[in-house]
Amino acid sequence: MNENKNNEVIFVGLPNSGKSTLINTLTSSKTSIVGSKPNTTRDKISTKIVINNKEIILSDLPGFDENPDSFNKTFQHKIEKIFDDANRILFVIDVNSKNFDGLDRINNILQKEGVEKKILTVFNKCENFEKYDLDKRFFKYIYDKEVYISGYHKIGTDELLNEILKYSGIKKNNIDNNSTISLIGKPNSGKSTLFNAFLNEERSIVSKIPGTTRDSIKEEVYFDNKLFNVVDTAGVPRKKQKDQIDRYASNLSLNVLSESQISFIVVDASLGINLEDLRLINESVENFCTPILVLNKWDLLDEEHKEKINSSLKHELKKFTWLKILRISALTKKGLNKFSNTLYEINEQLNKRIDTSELNLYFRELWVANPPHPFRGRRAKLKYVTQYETFPPSFSFHLSSRVPRNYISFVENKLRDDFLFNNVALKIKFKT
């Protein structure tokens, strides 16, 4: 499911031609992972830019390797549909490249798919290059037009961006800013399988090899009648992960939480939860992103194992007793119908707003009946409280002095219990 097929621009080229760097430059963000190793990018990675109320989807493809690995082969099987969906294709070529066999192979694929009219040839890494020095062997890769740029040094990228925007459309406001869901979890927990199940297509590459997904892949998904941006992220390994690319991919995954309102923490149910899963839940809450624990592969457990896992959850989740838990099988799609109802309930809570007078009446009475213990010799008095935001529900308590940490937890629990914020992350500020 493409975000906006009519406005999609595909970047295609050999490994290390600079596609990912170029997209990061055009979007002024770190959307694609950049590395010196070929095939750092393993799947189609899309990001949206909006300029002058026009939007366009920029999609980075893995480099076409002469000897593709299993991941690249899996991806190349999907190339026909990807090219067909695209409105424009940028053939990105390292102007210093001598790999004409590889370029011929890509060119042949483009011609075989009959997409010549969509192609704009982009000669990259031209920081010390003049157009008249272009090797004549490159001419056959030029179709309608060519541009000369340096993605790394940002030379010629404004001209390229203007060329791309010619094929953009008016911004569509079909998704609001409070509808981003991140899929996050340890490697091989089944995130990509679940992502594909939501889309009902093989969007993310799936394999038994840990760390298959390296990039954050975003697509639009309907849950009932509401549209969400769902982001499939790389598996987050332990902090001792040695591979630089995997560490960078893990950091990108965690950064997605700050831009999401809801996170699906996907866990292999047969293994139960451990410290890494608890860390991801905590990361989500600290980013005020509501976590939902998804116990995947639940169908593989016998009754005794299920009872054991449920018992361990009560012990492990003492700090997060409010957490919503879904037990599903992404592979067989059993339990996927639970997501729509759960998201409806969560969104109702995230969007709930409590009247200021009601909040103050409630907490003034609470403060008298259960005042906080003195903090450093001073007992805090409540001046007033207000809810200043939703998504997440955000509250500001104005006090005469500080309160102990346990009283902050007490206030949070009261908000959950008595105002029915049952399953969402709350943002609470205490100001003195």
The per-residue pLDDT for 54 is 73
Q: How far is CA 30 from the centre of its chain?
A: 12
Structure token pair of residue 256:
């997605």
How far is 17 from 22, CA to CA, in rounded Å?
9
pTM for this predicted structure: 0.67
How far is 71 from 41, CA to CA, in rounded Å?
10
Amino acid letter, 318: K
Q: Looking at 200-274, list the stretches that DSSP marks H as alpha helix, in order from N- to C-terminal side.
A: 244-257
The per-residue pLDDT for 37 is 46
Domains of the chain: 5-170 (3.40.50.300), 180-349 (3.40.50.300), 356-431 (3.30.300.20)
Q: Do 155 and 147 contact (CB within 8 A), yes or no?
A: no
CA triple 164-170-173, angle to 5 deg: 125
- List per-residue pLDDT tens for the chain, 432 residues long: 334 445 889 999 998 899 989 988 988 765 554 444 444 555 678 888 877 667 788 888 877 766 655 555 566 667 777 888 888 999 999 999 999 999 999 999 999 988 999 999 999 999 988 888 899 999 999 998 899 999 999 999 998 988 888 766 555 555 566 789 999 999 889 998 999 999 987 665 444 544 444 467 888 899 988 999 999 887 786 555 555 545 545 666 678 888 899 999 999 999 999 999 999 999 999 999 999 999 999 999 999 999 999 999 999 999 999 999 999 999 999 999 999 999 999 999 999 999 999 999 999 999 999 999 999 899 999 999 999 999 999 999 999 999 999 999 999 999 999 999 999 999 999 999
Q: Is 130 exposed, middle or buried (0-12, 13-18, 19+ CB in 10 A)?
A: exposed
Q: Do 357 and 384 contact (CB within 8 A), yes or no?
A: no
Amino acid letter, 345: E
How far is 429 from 432, CA to CA, in rounded Å?
10
Q: Which residues pair with 321 in a beta bridge?
A: none
The per-residue pLDDT for 212 is 44
How far is 298 from 334, CA to CA, in rounded Å?
9
Calculate Rg over the CA atoms of the chain: 25
Q: What are phi and psi of 42, to 5 degrees?
A: -115, -10
Q: What are phi and psi of 6, to 5 degrees?
A: -65, -20
Amino acid letter, 99: N
Q: Is 321 exposed, middle or buried (0-12, 13-18, 19+ CB in 10 A)?
A: exposed
Q: Do 107 and 140 contact (CB within 8 A), yes or no?
A: yes
